[in-house]
């Protein structure tokens, strides 16, 4: 069982969905991308995030990406699956599918139906309760218009033992405040849309970035194939 204690701190690259010249998911390119990340000794892998262009993939393509990732990772490092859908009900189904497929843990994006932070708390709680695998939540108020403050995140951690982490897309100051409240209760991953590399948070703490060091726009990765937005 994955827990905050077993989520190794380090780089968790979020994989691209790579397409061939015919507009189909490129099997060999996806295999090579995984092999490169593992060669770099990453702490784990994440898939179906914003970098994977999850919003532009069909349901069939999302299932295919997950199946290929699980096949290629072969249990060598943990695989996290980002759970994206407009509603919490749809995310609940995707959480069940990720657990059944064999993912190690999931990262729940804020449901776009959330109207305010209280509504987001309620929806996150509903999803975490349903999850049959450990989960983290993505806190991205600047990108989705609603988020949680450190007090609310600490309350979610108190309520839900299977909540093992939070992917912070907020300032270093807010992340440091969350760390002060939580201690080691949750693993904290720093992202903020790929804009901030690994750094000292508010001058005190060092935390891993979600993807930039490995799966940012490097020539080696872009040479593998084309992302959907490039077509």
Does the pLDDT value for residue 65 go beyond 80?
A: yes
Confidence of residue 191 (pLDDT cuts 50, 70, 90): low
- Closest by CA position to 207, among listed 168, 157, 151, 181: 168
Q: Are 104 and 73 in contact (CB under 8 A)?
A: no
In a domain, 45, yes or no: yes
Question: Which residue range is the domain that position 97 belongs to?
Answer: 27-230
Q: What is the pTM of this model?
A: 0.81
What does the mean pLDDT of the chain come to?
A: 81
Between residues 6 and 96, which one has the greater pLDDT?
Answer: 96
Between residues 110 and 185, which one has the greater pLDDT?
Answer: 110
Between residues 172 and 226, which one has the greater pLDDT?
Answer: 172
In a domain, 218, yes or no: yes
Between residues 207 and 16, which one has the greater pLDDT?
Answer: 16
Q: Which residues pair with 190 in a beta bridge?
A: 168, 209
Tokens of 131: 């999850």
Number of domains the chain is built from = 1
In a domain, 3, yes or no: no
Q: Which residues pair with 46 in a beta bridge?
A: 14, 80
Q: What is the spatial distance between Cα 55 and Cα 58, in angstroms, rounded to a whole number?
A: 8
Q: Tell me what the mean pLDDT of segment 88-104 comes to.
A: 94
Pairing of strands 205-207, 199-201: antiparallel
Tokens of 64: 């295919």
What CATH number has the domain bearing residue 144? 3.20.20.70
List, as one string, the DSSP characters of the chain: ---TTTS-SS--PBPP--B-TTSSB-HHHHHHHHHHHHHTT-S-EEESSGGGTGGGS-HHHHHHHHHHHHHHHTTSS-EEEEE--SSHHHHHHHHHHHHHHT-SEEEEPPPTT--SHHHHHHHHHHHHHH-SS-EEEEE-HHHHS----HHHHHHHHHH-TTEEEEEE-S-HHHHHHHHHHHTTSSEEEE-TTTTS-SEEETTTEEE-BSSHHHHSS-HHHHTT-B-GGG-
Q: What is the pLDDT of residue 221?
A: 36
Does the pLDDT value for residue 195 go beyond 90?
A: no
Q: What is the spatial distance between Cα 102 and Cα 113, in angstroms, rounded to a whole number?
A: 28
Q: What is the pLDDT of residue 51?
A: 78
Q: Tell me what the mean pLDDT of segment 123-127 comes to.
A: 96
In a domain, 167, yes or no: yes
What is the chain's alpha carbon radius of gyration, rounded to the nearest angstrom? 17
Least confident of 19-23, 177-181, 218-222: 218-222
In a domain, 101, yes or no: yes
Confidence of residue 194 (pLDDT cuts 50, 70, 90): low
Q: What is the pLDDT of residue 187?
A: 87
Q: Tell me what the mean pLDDT of segment 73-86 comes to.
A: 93
- Give residue-wise pLDDT tens across range 145-184: 889 988 999 999 999 999 999 988 887 788 888 888 888 8
């Amino acid at each position: 069982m994955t827990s905050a204690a077993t989520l190794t701190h380090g780089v968790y690259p979020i994989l691209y969905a790579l397409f061939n010249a015919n507009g189909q998911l490129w099997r060999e390119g996806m295999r090579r991308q995984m092999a490169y990340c593992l060669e770099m000794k990453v702490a784990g892998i994440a898939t179906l995030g914003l970098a994977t262009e999850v919003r532009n993939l069909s349901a069939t393509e999302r299932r295919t990406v997950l199946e290929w990732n699980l096949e290629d990772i072969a249990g060598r490092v943990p695989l996290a699956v980002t759970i994206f859908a407009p509603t919490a009900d749809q995310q609940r189904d995707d959480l069940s599918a990720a657990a059944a497929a064999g993912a190690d843990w999931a990262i729940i994006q804020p449901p776009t139906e959330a109207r305010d932070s209280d509504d987001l708390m309620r929806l996150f709680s509903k999803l975490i309760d349903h999850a049959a695998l450990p989960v983290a939540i993505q806190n991205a108020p600047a990108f989705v218009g609603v988020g949680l403050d450190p007090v609310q995140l600490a309350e979610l951690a108190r309520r839900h033992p299977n909540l093992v982490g939070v992917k912070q897309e907020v300032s270093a100051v807010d992340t440091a405040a969350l760390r002060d409240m939580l201690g080691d209760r949750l693993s904290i991953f720093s992202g903020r849309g790929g804009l901030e590399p690994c750094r000292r948070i508010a001058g005190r703490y060092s935390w891993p970035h979600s993807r930039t060091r490995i799966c940012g726009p490097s020539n080696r990765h872009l040479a593998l194939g084309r992302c959907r937005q490039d077509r």
